[in-house]
Amino acid sequence: MPHNKKLMKDAIQAKIGGLRERVMDRVLRTDPFIAEKHRADKPLYAALVPDEIFKGSHFERRFVTPFGGVWEDLAVTAAQYGLGSDQRGVMISGTVKQDRLRRIAKVLNDLEHTARGIERVRPDWDKELAYILEGGGEDIPVQVICDLFVTDTEKNLKYAFELKAPLPNSDQTKVSKEKILKLHAMEPCQVNGAYYALPYNPYGKRENYTWSFPARWFNMKEDEAVLIGDEFWEKIGGVGTYQAFIEAVNEIGKEYKERIYREFLGIEPPPGSESVGLL
């Protein structure tokens, strides 16, 4: 593995490891599951359901909060060892012609609402963008806050990303598409690329991605404004970034699961538990 990818992998593991220790410290020391309190607070539940089920829920709730923004944290880490610079929640300011804003609203409205008796409009990034860029009119100040802003420090290229969980909902995808269209419609353009990115593809290959909610707004299999899995990681970190990410997560995940089984659940890891990971 190239030196910078090794450093990237180590940094990703350090980031996850820090979050892991926060969770373990909380569930083992500062806020452990106390069976007696659970039985006193919820006697009916305790009478019907084994304590172990609620113990698992106790862990889940304390895991989800600190890991809520982990995708963005890991992307920032990868970009720092890849293209060179990455920031979260950056506001990009520019101007968009008035008719372009109207056309953006029309594109989104047509995708969301289908008139009775008319075939549903399908997303087509190239066609939509061409239509929007034909718009003119007065320059209107516009500000867009992107999830990630990445700078290729060698080539002085700037990229904006709307980074969502692998199975995003429809509403957040609509908001992301509006942001990305506005970034492309700015004149002069403030970025060299703007993308809707999913950091992992649970379906494997992009052509097999079939989660329906974002498909209302993007052609998830063909739109060039969409990056899924390895496409996203290679964009922000260069060739080999996705593999470094996968290896980092799977290696630390094996150790983490063993600790959860032994230290929190008080049991030995079942056979085969270590084989579950990112692919």
Which residue is associated with the tokens 């609509």?
Answer: 174
**Residues of each domain in the chain carrying CATH 3.40.1560:** 83-237
Q: Are 225 and 233 in contact (CB under 8 A)?
A: no
Tell me the fold of 83-237. type ii restriction endonuclease, domain 2 (3.40.1560)
Q: Dihedral sign, CA of 152, 164, 239, 7? A: positive
| Distance separating alpha carbons of residues 266 and 249, to the nearest angstrom | 24
Q: What was the pLDDT predicted at 28?
A: 95
| Distance separating alpha carbons of residues 36 and 44, to the nearest angstrom | 13
pTM of the entire predicted model: 0.85
Low-confidence ranges of the chain (pLDDT < 70): 1-3, 279
Q: What was the pLDDT predicted at 73?
A: 86
Q: What are phi and psi of 35, to 5 degrees?
A: -60, -40
